[in-house]
Amino acid sequence: MPLNEGTEGQGLAVVQTSELTKAFGDLKAVDRLSFEIPKGTIFGLIGPSGCGKTTTVRLLTGIYRPSGGKASVLGENPARFSRETRTKIGYMLQQSVLYPDLTVWENLNFASAIYGVGPLRGKQLREVLEFVELSEHRRKPVSKISGGMRRRLGLAATLAHNPELLFLDEPTTGVDPVLRRKFWDHFEALRDEGRTLLVTTQYVGEAAYCDLVAVMQQGRLLRVDTPEGLRCHAFGGEIVELQTANHLDLGKARRLDALPAVRQVHLLENGRARLVVDEASTAIPRLVEWSQEEELALKSIGEYLPPFDDVFVKLIQGPEGVSLG
Amino acid sequence: MARPLRFLIRISAFVRKEAAEILRQPRLVITLVLGPFLILLLFGLGYSAEPTPLRTLFVVPEDSVLQPYLRENAETFVQQLVYEGMISDEELAKARLRSGQVDAVVVIPDKVYETVRSSQQAVITIYHNRIDPIRARYVRAFADLFVNQINQRILQVFAEESQQEASTLQPGVRAAKESTNSLHLAMESDDPEATQQHLDELDRNLTDLETALLASSLLLGRLKEMEAQDPATDPQDPTEILAQLRKQVESLEERDRTPGQEEQSTQAVTEIDQDLTRLDTALEEFRSIDSQVLVTPFRGEVRTVMAVDLSLVDYYVPGVLAVLLQHLCVTFGALSIVAERRSGTMELFQASPLSAFEVLAGKYLSYLVFTALLSAVLTGLLELALDIPMLGSWAHYSLAIVALLFASLGLGFVLSLLAQTTSQAVQYSMLALLISVFFSGFFLNLELLRASVRLISWAIPGTYALQLFQDIMLRGQPINLFWVGALVAIGAGTSLVAWLLLRRTMART
């Protein structure tokens, strides 16, 4: 299922927003969002429920008109999408919008036909079903398949017209962890085919699968960065965890803190410490040297990747948020 | 791919989707086809055109001479009357009526003779216990019929008595004839004294006949007067014959006083004899006329100019078809778009290249095809099972069906776009059905509605369809293009409104 020829090269912004705002009365659901989504990336939009993710997607799919600011999707203003541009976009809604009395195949057929895919679409649809591993269930009515299958069919319906830009609104909500992982495998495969994906999710941990992540809270964009960039930003740098055979006392901790590569030291029990450094790869050799100078028996040392839940809380709550301990 | 082709693909997506959704529900299809058919079949089999019997209790004064007469003859008065007995206590009779033991109580008044003598009608009161205005009217009609029958029976008795009296006139006619013969002989023997004596005798005989015939001939005489403004002389009318006799006797008396007119006088006596013979024959004829014919000389007979005699079921089939098909289409239309909106697919459509026109056209086409097939199957079943009449053209009938479906679907789509929830859509559809039942002419004739209310009728597709179906099926008339045009106009108008509403729904906000 390769993407149509003629798509632009990776790196160009497929989606651009500038001060994009949507207000419902006095409530600003989306407040001055500015970001870019380069072509061929998975762009994660992460935030708690009600933070404005779905509103952002609706603004970018042209369902909502912005109250302020600008957006450009595939080079067009979403509020005035041409039909041609709409056929290049796939939209998977938060809730399942399949017809329960129709079979898997009939649902897929309908989804492709409303995008004007020609009558010789059988091969393309079979490929899509194969991609989401539903081929053997094609004749089953949707009412008879599981919730997970429905979500996969929803994704297949979004892909049925071979779009180059996908807006997936919480595609993994309510899906078990194994299937969630599978979904992200599918997303990565789609990204590798050259498609661009904007995926919203409440599962902060899924940020790790994205190429770029935008963190939203109360309609505002807190930060857009790579997953690693977000971690660094949240904790003020990369984190190295070391453990020594001896006890690390305050004197040693102060000397550790005084090292040029180290920004912060968090002492833990059993001779463990987490250090915020500029760059883990350059800091680790220097720390090994320091432990030898201090005659400390180093049991382990390596980069520590805090869970994204902690990163997210840290980003939202600021320095007072989650501590490295 | 060319734009028109994409347009067709998008529309066909809905046609296939809706068809599959409907066919995937066999129970729904069976209910839609068999439901209306069974309703009509049950109606056809279950409806009885026989008048509803009325269990009737009579309240008659104890000393009334009508008691035995009513006891024996009451059930012959009116077909639906079931004689339930006779009592003299009116309150007891009313109590039995209230408790549902009888359907009507007929109270015969006391002192009928005195009432009539005082130039007033005696009132026969008929009580009923119906709350249904239509049934109450039925009882009123029954009461009118009953009282007419009573009056007629009384007149019949008078007529019979009159005929009886006519039989007693015949000896008088014979006496007059004898007097005539004697007169003739006296005149031939030129005996003025005897002539005068027999002439006087004949005069008396005629006076007796005139007096006796007066009552008997009244009925026929009045009837004859009703026939023409200037009635021609009827040679068989006893009154006229008698009048002629009177003139002849008077002229004979005149001539008798004038000498030299003997020949004319003899001729007059011969004519008097012939007239008396005619009078005898006329009286015999009068006696032989049925007394009921005398008092009710007219009998109504209703005939239709229609090619077939229609049963009540035949009459209702076009109306039921019109209302049912309209209801099916309105319900389909009303549920279709609200269902998309409730399930969230409308948001998907908003993000897709679909236009409001394509969504509506797709749905229109699919439901039009489906309901047309449904109509065909339903009509076929009705034709086979109930043998409904089809005096007109099947092609015209089909055209009327398509026009009805087009208009009703449009109405359904408008309701669907006005409804916020599925239950609201169902309620709107039921309201549309109720409005159709009451205002389309199905239940009550349109002529019974005030002109201002009739405006509602003309906004309902079923009203036009009912007229079209009745004209085509029952009258065998060609299709009325004005009614079809009205349905197409309603369809076009509602489609336009539906399109505008759907455009607003699908508009980017």
Q: What percent of chain A has pLDDT over 90?
A: 48
Contact B351 A101 (CB under 8 A): no
- Take residue B2 and report the two structure tokens written for it: 């060319």
What kind and span of H or E run contains B55? strand B54-59
Length of chain A: 325
**pLDDT beyond 70 at B52:** yes
Residue B20: closest C-alpha in chain A:
A102
Contact A91 B348 (CB under 8 A): yes
Q: Does domain A13-231 have CATH number 3.40.50.300?
A: yes
Contact B509 A62 (CB under 8 A): no
Q: What are the pLDDT digits (tens) for B362-375?
A: 999 999 999 999 99
Three-state DSSP at B128 gives strand
Give the Cα separation of B437 and B457 in Å (integer).
10
Nearest-neighbour CA in chain A from B16: distance (Å):
8
Best CA proximity match to A44, nearest among A207, A205, A183, A225: A207
Nearest-neighbour CA in chain A from B383: distance (Å):
33
Q: What percent of chain B has pLDDT over 90?
A: 35
Residue A215 bridge partners (DSSP): A46, A223
- 8 A C-beta contact, residue A149 and residue A137: yes
Tokens 């998977």 found at: A92
Distances B33 to A172, B36, B379, B429 between C-alpha atoms, Å? 43, 6, 10, 19
- Take residue B204 and report the two structure tokens written for it: 């008396």
Question: How many angstroms separate the first and last alpha carbons of chain B?
Answer: 30
Best CA proximity match to B453, nearest among B439, B471, B468: B439
pLDDT band at B235 (very low <50, low <70, confident <90, very high): low
- Take residue B445 and report the two structure tokens written for it: 């004739």
Backbone angles phi and psi of A275, in degrees to 5: -120, 130
Report mean pLDDT in 10-residue bins for chain A, 325 residues: 44 89 93 94 92 95 94 94 93 89 94 89 89 92 91 92 94 84 91 94 88 92 90 86 85 86 86 88 89 86 87 74 54
Does A55 contact B at CB distance below 8 Å?
A: no
Tokens 């830009």 found at: A165
Strand bridging mode B104-107 / B54-59: parallel
- Answer with the one of B129, B156, B179 that is the final residue of a domain: B129
In a domain, B385, yes or no: yes
Q: Which residues contact B111 (CB under 8 A, 6 or more apart)?
A: B122
Contacts 24+ apart (CB under 8 A), A267-271: A267/A325, A268/A325, A270/A243, A271/A243, A271/A244, A271/A245, A271/A246, A271/A247, A271/A299
B438 lies in the same domain as B344: yes
State whether ipTM is beyond 0.90.
no
What kind and span of H or E run contains B36? helix B26-46
Q: What is the mean pLDDT of residues B8-25?
A: 89
pLDDT value for B85: 93
Three-state DSSP at B232 gives coil
B482 lies in the same domain as B340: yes
**Sign of the C-alpha dihedral, residues B96, B97, B99, B101?**
positive
In a domain, B305, yes or no: no
Looking at chain A, the domain(s) classified CATH 3.30.70.980 span 234-320
In a domain, B137, yes or no: no
CA B112-B113-B119 angle, 5° bins = 95
Give the Cα separation of B107 and B110 in Å (integer).
9
Domain count, chain B: 3
B38 lies in the same domain as B115: no
Give the Cα separation of B285 and B169 in Å (integer).
13
Looking at chain A, the domain(s) classified CATH 3.40.50.300 span 13-231
Question: How many angstroms separate the first and last alpha carbons of chain A?
Answer: 47
In whole numbers, what is the pLDDT of chain B averaged over residues?
85
In a domain, B94, yes or no: yes
Q: Which parts of B66-148 are beta strand (E)?
A: 81-87, 104-107, 125-128
Instruction: Write down the architecture of domain A234-320 according to CATH.
Output: 2-Layer Sandwich (3.30)
- DSSP-derived letter for residue B190 is T
Best CA proximity match to A113, nearest among A102, A165, A189: A102
In a domain, B159, yes or no: no
The neighbour count for residue B460, using CB atoms within 10 Å, is 25
- The sheet carrying A262-267 orders its strands as A262-267, A272-277, A238-244, A298-303
Does A66 contact B at CB distance below 8 Å?
A: no
B334 lies in the same domain as B450: yes
In a domain, B115, yes or no: yes
In a domain, B1, yes or no: no
Tokens 């049934």 found at: B135
Helical axes B356-386 vs B312-343, angle rounded to 10°: 150
Best CA proximity match to B415, nearest among B440, B438, B439, B433: B433
Give the Cα separation of B359 and B347 in Å (integer).
13
Q: Which residue has the higher pLDDT, A63 or B22?
A: A63
pLDDT value for B282: 79
Best CA proximity match to B32, nearest among B313, B461, B332: B332
Does B299 contact A at CB distance below 8 Å?
A: no
B462 lies in the same domain as B324: yes
- Take residue B444 and report the two structure tokens written for it: 């009550």
**Sign of the C-alpha dihedral, residues B130, B133, B134, B140?**
positive
pLDDT value for A9: 44
Residues in B touching A144 (Cβ below 8 Å): none
Give the Cα separation of B490 and B231 in Å (integer).
61
**pLDDT beyond 70 at B313:** yes
Contact B509 A64 (CB under 8 A): yes
Q: What are the pLDDT digits (tens) for B460-491?
A: 999 999 999 999 999 899 999 999 999 999 99
Best CA proximity match to A99, nearest among A91, A88, A109: A109
Does A62 contact B at CB distance below 8 Å?
A: yes
B499 lies in the same domain as B350: yes
B262 lies in the same domain as B287: yes
Interface contacts (A, B; CB < 8 Å):
83
What kind and span of H or E run contains B427? helix B422-439
Give the Cα separation of B372 and B397 in Å (integer).
12
**pLDDT beyond 90 at B99:** yes
Residues in A touching B2 (Cβ below 8 Å): none
**Sign of the C-alpha dihedral, residues B155, B160, B165, B169?**
positive
Give the Cα separation of A96 and B14 in Å (integer).
19
Q: Which residues contact B470 (CB under 8 A, 6 or more apart)?
A: B318, B319
Which residue type, as a one-letter code, is found at position B284?
E
SS3 readout for chain A: CCCCCCCCCCCCEEEEEEEEEEEECCEEEEEEEEEEEECCCEEEEECCCCCCHHHHHHHHCCCCCCCEEEEEECCECHHHCCHHHHCCEEEECCCCCCCCCCEHHHHHHHHHHCCCCCCCCHHHHHHHHHHCCCHHHCCCEHHHCCHHHHHHHHHHHHHCCCCCEEEEECCCCCCCHHHHHHHHHHHHHHHHCCCEEEEEECCHHHHHHCCEEEEEECCEEEEEECHHHHHHHHHCCEEEEEEECCCCCHHHHHHHHCCCCEEEEEECCCCEEEEEECCHHHHHHHHHHHHHHCCCCEEEEEECCCCHHHHHHHHHHHHHCCCCC
What kind and span of H or E run contains B350? helix B345-351
- The top-scoring range by mean pLDDT among B247-251, B255-259, B333-337 is B333-337
C-alpha dihedral (B370, B371, B373, B378), degrees to nearest 10:
140
Residues in B touching A167 (Cβ below 8 Å): 351
Suggest the residue from B347, B349, B358, B363 to mutate for an interface test with chain A (most A CBs closer than 10 A).
B347
Sequence-ordered alpha helix ranges (H) in B189-311: 192-227, 238-256, 262-288, 291-295
B376 lies in the same domain as B277: no
B40 lies in the same domain as B62: no
Q: What are the pLDDT digits (tens) for B405-445?
A: 999 999 999 999 999 899 999 999 999 999 998 899 887 78
Give the Cα separation of A165 and A191 in Å (integer).
10
B97 lies in the same domain as B228: no
Nearest-neighbour CA in chain B from A205: distance (Å):
28
pLDDT value for A324: 57
CA B15-B17-B19 angle, 5° bins = 65
Residues in B touching A109 (Cβ below 8 Å): 13, 16
Does B351 contact A at CB distance below 8 Å?
A: yes
In a domain, B149, yes or no: no
Q: Which residues contact B498 (CB under 8 A, 6 or more apart)?
A: B360, B410, B413, B414, B416, B417
Residues in A touching B351 (Cβ below 8 Å): 61-63, 86, 89, 91, 167
pLDDT band at B314 (very low <50, low <70, confident <90, very high): confident
Residues in B touching A57 (Cβ below 8 Å): none
B411 lies in the same domain as B467: yes
Q: Which domain holds residue B237?
A: 168-295
Tokens 């539906």 found at: B498
- Take residue A256 and report the two structure tokens written for it: 């550790």
Residues in A touching B352 (Cβ below 8 Å): 86, 91, 114-115
CATH of the domain at B67: 3.40.1710.10
Suggest the residue from A63, A139, A144 to mutate for an interface test with chain B (most B CBs closer than 10 A).
A63
B353 → closest Cβ in A65, A116, A167: A116
CATH of the domain at B270: 1.20.120.660
pLDDT value for A18: 95
pLDDT band at B51 (very low <50, low <70, confident <90, very high): confident
- 8 A C-beta contact, residue A252 and residue A293: no
B484 lies in the same domain as B392: yes
Give the Cα separation of A112 and A125 in Å (integer).
8
